[in-house]
């Protein structure tokens, strides 16, 4: 992929959810299908997600680091954007899943594909950075499939640091 100047840097920083586009009922339904308990879902609904993103090159591979603070502490994930599947087994919140990341050539959108290993659910999320009136925003457009349903969720994050 040919990387436009400034594209890598446009991702770097702390992004805080605006919650303005997020449908809480859809989010709750997705978490329910994933097997997240009622108590955890209700606690999560009261939290404003904030992620620190860092995008850089490691040799020929693009790498995305995502650091998220939560009530349980801090998690740091390092994803190689090369389409390779990574298997995770986390009980809870999401269980046993395979995750892959890639970047589209035409528009620099990051694509995260996640599937629960038994096939109970899957999701495809497209991450992008867009400048609106001089202000950078990060969007996550998620298509989730599970229990015979296709659910769509859009999350909008504003760069806060």
pLDDT, residue 100, reads 97
**Which residues in the chain show pLDDT less than 70?**
1-3, 71, 91-94, 106
pLDDT, residue 102, reads 95
Evaluate whether 28 touches 45 at the Cβ level (below 8 Å). Answer: yes
Is 138 inside a domain boundary? yes
Taking only the tens place, the pLDDT of each residue in 118-160 is 999 999 999 999 999 999 999 999 999 999 999 999 999 999 9
CATH for 25: 2.40.128.20
Residue numbers of the domain that contains 154: 7-159
Evaluate whether 89 touches 96 at the Cβ level (below 8 Å). Answer: yes
Is 1 inside a domain boundary? no
Predicted TM-score of the model (pTM) = 0.90
pLDDT, residue 94, reads 65
Tokens encoding 96 = 């046993």
Is 93 inside a domain boundary? yes
Helix axes 24-33, 38-45, angle to 10 degrees: 150
3-state secondary structure of 27: helix
> Residue 46 and residue 94: Cα distance in Å, rounded?
19
């Amino acid at each position: 992929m040919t990387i436009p100047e400034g594209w890598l840097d446009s991702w770097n920083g702390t992004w805080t959810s605006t919650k303005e586009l997020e449908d809480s009922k859809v989010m709750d339904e997705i978490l329910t299908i994933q097997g997240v308990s009622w108590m955890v879902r209700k606690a999560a609904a009261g939290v404003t997600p904030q992620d620190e993103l860092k995008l850089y090159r490691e040799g020929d591979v693009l790498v995305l680091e995502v650091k998220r603070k939560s009530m349980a502490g801090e998690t740091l994930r390092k994803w190689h954007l090369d389409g390779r599947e990574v298997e995770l087994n986390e009980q809870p919140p999401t269980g046993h899943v395979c995750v892959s990341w890639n970047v589209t050539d035409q528009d620099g959108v990051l694509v995260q594909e996640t599937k629960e290993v038994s096939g109970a659910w899957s999701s495809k999320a497209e991450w992008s950075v867009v400048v609106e009136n001089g202000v950078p925003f990060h969007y996550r457009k998620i298509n989730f499939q599970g229990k015979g349903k296709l659910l769509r969720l859009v999350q909008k994050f504003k760069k806060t640091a």
